[in-house]
Amino acid sequence: MKDLHDPYRFPDLAPLFNPASIAVVGASDKEHSIGNHTFRNIVEHSKFTGRLYPVNPKQDQVMGLRAYPDMASLPEPVDVVVIVVPAQFVAETVEQAGARGCRFAVILTSGFSEADDWGIAEERKLVEIGQRTGIRIYGPNCPGLVNLNIPLGMSFSPAFKTDLAPGAIALATQGGGLGRNMMQHNYRGMGFSAWSSSGNECDLQVADFVHHFAGDPDCKAIAILVEGFKDGPRFAAAARRAAEMGKPIIGLKVGRSEYGAKAAQSHTASITGSAEVNSTVFAQLGVIEVDDLDEAMDVAMLFTRKQPTGDEKVAVFASSGGAASLCADNVGTAGLTLSTFTPETTRKLAETLPSFANISNPIDTTSISISHPQALMDSLIACANDANTDLVLAPIPMDYGIYTEANARNFKTAQDTTDTPIVPIWFSEKTGEGYFELARSGLVPFRSLRNMGKAVRRWIDYGRYLQERDQTWTPLLLDTGVPGPATITRTLTEAEGKAALAAAGVPVTTPEVAATSAAAQEIADRMGGPLAMKIVSAQITHKSDVGGVMLNVDPAAAAAAFDTIMASAAAARPDATLDGVLLEPMAPAGGVEAFVGVARDPVFGHVMTLGLGGIYVEMFHDVTRAMLPVSQAQARRMIGKLKSAKLLSGYRGQPPRDLDALAKLVATVSDYVAAHADRVEEVEINPVWVGAGGEGALALDAVIVVRD
């Protein structure tokens, strides 16, 4: 029952993050208990000004507040019920909370689907209660939820009270440990608007929090850490929403290797999906994929400084020749562009800096950072106000104590003169007061040149994504959802597959099947030659392995070829039922071969794979992928991303290939799968013959797997 405008009916999570009233079931005065930690985090370490009710039948008061024996006795249906009672009492509590009209249950308790069969069953019960009573469930098996702009921590974590830096980064994770790791980036100067850590996600999931953060004015960037998406299309819809709102999502997905996928699956009981497909989906949705947690924070930090346009040019401002060189080196390896200073900037730099300084980009002021701090600041101001410069990178290789501290203050003064972000890279392991001066001033440093290069690259790329978004967006094939794994599938014969594709408008060689040698001869005489002839049998997939394929057959020899093929196949596979031999015209000589495939990913649904020829796919993994549907324009873009694309554009004196025809074929295959998304599991067309310009493209083979 999906609404056309909001098929996923994303919940309004404002009352969860900014509740007017909270009940804590299991709140306790008992030292070191989870209930005590949790309640103390709200009472002592939060600045929650709403109504707070401890629920504990064994105490009249908890931490001086009147306690209630159960949900029914609460003076009002609260926005959020935080539950820290043992697992066996959780369902009963949620049932009561739902009946009382409470809106959200935050279940911190562990021992559910992550633990055993009882827990799996109990979690199903929770889902059912939620659907029946309308209460939405957060957790179970999670450390809680944090809103740092109040601050409010509905969490048992002993680290909550130390990780309180507010800021513009929203964080959505599943597990708690890695989320806490990201929160502890506040020790390097990062600030957070909120952190959801949704544990087993029996109801609310990362997608819901992404959707919420997308609409949260306190948030400028959303960082997510995911072990497995509970509902891929739901995430895709939320990510679309974030992109519409101009909110970048920075994503790290565990499971890029088999070890990781297996471990994440065992840890979270999620389907982790394919890493390649996940990267494809991230790229297509504008989710910025990172390789490590610190990289996620680096990119998020840049977005809190400024929104990128996609065309940024950078200046390097250093007081060490080595740092200038190494930073410029990383600028280059990251594919960034150094700005060329205007004559005015160059004049100012020449006036300010000593003659032995390097005043072109990368700037090396030499050691004036110690001897002439004023000149350092003036030259930084000149650099940062340069009309051709969009970002100033200031590598600081070491801590010189009070000198560095003084320069840090001057950095802030320089930043106040311009909108161009000045971003220090403090890559010494020694962080002194100078570091924290920068961080406090909002100039949070990168911690390595490598990370700087990666982060700035990703930041600029997102600007480019926003530029191109309108041209590349198509409606996602999300409303079909992703049906569960197919239990019974059937592979169509080549003739059936080609007929299905032909009916959908895909150009295919038109095969005919002969059941006898006489019929083969009749068909061959009509078609003319040369011909391709292949065995037809539902049991035989690899036709050439059984002597079942003959190419370039002269029409006059068709009857003999029929007999040969049937005899070979019968000898090789006596078990198989042979339906006859397929005949079709050979494709014209001299074409380029392409590969077009569609497979259903268990998380994100149908994904297309495109490549040129077996060699490039097999040896160099030179393929591009996209979620369906793929338009003709998108297909052209996909082709352009192949390293082997120049084979199509007139390589070594060959004529340019019919790119339009290939792109149209790809889009038509996409339309075919979209129209039969509930039934088609897999399409593989290998090869697609691609002729010279105007000659068209032609599916020479087709394997289609359907649900029966």
Residue tagged 């005043």 (tokens): 359
561 to each of 525, 558, 587, 616, how far by Cα in Å?
Answer: 14, 5, 19, 32
Nearer to its own copies, 184 or 480 (CB): 184
Residue tagged 């036709």 (tokens): 543
Minimum distance of its own copies from residue 582's CB (angstroms): 21
185 counts as binding its own copies under rule CB under 8 A: yes
Nearer to its own copies, 96 or 366 (CB): 366
Closest CA to 228 of 188, 283, 275: 275
419 to each of 175, 317, 384, 406, how far by Cα in Å?
Answer: 37, 17, 9, 22
Exactly one of 178, 466, 674, 692 binds its own copies (CB under 8 A); which one? 178
Q: What residues between 366 and 405 interact with its own copies by CB under 8 A?
A: 397-401
3-class DSSP assignment, residue 667: helix
499 counts as binding its own copies under rule CB under 8 A: no
Q: What are phi and psi of 621, to 5 degrees?
A: 50, 40
Q: What residues between 240 and 259 interact with its own copies by CB under 8 A?
A: 254-259
439 counts as binding its own copies under rule CB under 8 A: no
User: Looking at the DSSP assignment, which residues form a beta bridge with residue 318?
Assistant: 364
Question: Which residues, 6 or more positions from 411, have their beta carbon under 8 angstroms from its beta carbon?
Answer: 377, 380, 394, 422, 424, 438, 441, 443
> Cβ–Cβ contacts within 10 Å for residue 306, how many?
17
Residue 671 · residue 467 · CB < 8 Å: no
Minimum distance of its own copies from residue 332's CB (angstroms): 2
181 counts as binding its own copies under rule CB under 8 A: yes
3-class DSSP assignment, residue 243: helix
Stretch that binds its own copies, among 83-91, 147-155, 178-186, 340-348 (CB under 8 A): 178-186
User: Looking at the DSSP assignment, which residues form a beta bridge with residue 234?
Assistant: none
Instruction: Provide the CB-side half-sphere exposure for 679 (13 A, CA).
Output: 9
Nearer to its own copies, 325 or 631 (CB): 325
467 counts as binding its own copies under rule CB under 8 A: no
Minimum distance of its own copies from residue 158's CB (angstroms): 7
Exactly one of 34, 65, 115, 570 binds its own copies (CB under 8 A); which one? 115
Q: What are phi and psi of 289, to 5 degrees?
A: -85, 135
Nearer to its own copies, 403 or 473 (CB): 403
Minimum distance of its own copies from residue 2's CB (angstroms): 32
Residue tagged 């297509």 (tokens): 284
Nearer to its own copies, 57 or 177 (CB): 177
Q: What residues between 263 and 302 interact with its own copies by CB under 8 A?
A: 263-264, 266-268, 291-295
Q: What residues between 196 and 225 interact with its own copies by CB under 8 A?
A: 225
Q: What residues between 591 and 650 interact with its own copies by CB under 8 A?
A: 614-615, 618-620, 622, 643-644, 646-647
Nearer to its own copies, 261 or 300 (CB): 261
356 counts as binding its own copies under rule CB under 8 A: yes
Q: Note the residue count of the chain.
A: 708
Q: Kindly state the helix (H) or strand (E) to which residue 520 belongs, with its residue range.
A: helix 517-527
Q: What residues between 319 and 348 interact with its own copies by CB under 8 A?
A: 319-326, 328-333, 338
List the beta strands (DSSP E) in 427-487.
none
User: Looking at the DSSP assignment, which residues form a beta bridge with residue 690?
Assistant: 592, 697
Nearer to its own copies, 105 or 324 (CB): 324
Nearer to its own copies, 53 or 160 (CB): 160
Minimum distance of its own copies from residue 543's CB (angstroms): 14
Minimum distance of its own copies from residue 705's CB (angstroms): 24
Task: Give the tokens for residue 432.
Answer: 């002194």
655 counts as binding its own copies under rule CB under 8 A: no
Minimum distance of its own copies from residue 455's CB (angstroms): 13
Exactly one of 100, 103, 136, 188 binds its own copies (CB under 8 A); which one? 188
Task: Give the tokens for residue 61.
Answer: 């008061």
Whole-angstrom Cα distance, residue 494 to residue 516? 18
List the beta strands (DSSP E) in 286-325.
288-289, 314-318
Q: What residues between 49 and 108 interact with its own copies by CB under 8 A?
A: none
